[in-house]
Amino acid sequence: MTSRTSAIHILYFANFREVLGQAEENLPATHNTVSELLTTLAARGEPWKVALFDNENLQIAVNHDIASRETPLKAGDEVAFFPPVTGG
């Protein structure tokens, strides 16, 4: 298992937990940006690609701050993915 200091900790919220089958995971800190991380996750298959990579309204946070696909990543970062927020 990769230690959190040399990894990126990823959190999946709301329906992403059900669609992707997990709430969190650690991946090696080999991704320079959120976009690179999303490319790796999309390679896992169609549910990952549709939920995260192709989702133009994907909400992203890095270390509890709103982020974009261009946000840089480093070892020890926490990345959270949220589905678009809807209201009524």
- What is the CATH superfamily name and number for domain 4-82? Beta-grasp domain (3.10.20.30)
Q: Given pLDDT bands bounded at 50, 70 and 90, which one contains residue 34? A: very high
Predicted TM-score of the model (pTM): 0.91
Q: What is the pLDDT of residues 2-25, one digit of tens each?
A: 555 689 999 999 999 999 999 999
Q: What is the pLDDT of residues 36-84, one digit of tens each?
A: 999 999 999 999 999 999 999 999 999 999 999 999 999 999 999 999 8
**C-alpha dist (Å) from residue 56 to 43, 59, 60, 76, 85:** 17, 9, 11, 26, 13
Contact 62/78 with Cβ under 8 angstroms? yes
Residue 81 identity (one-letter amino acid): F
Domain ranges for the chain: 4-82
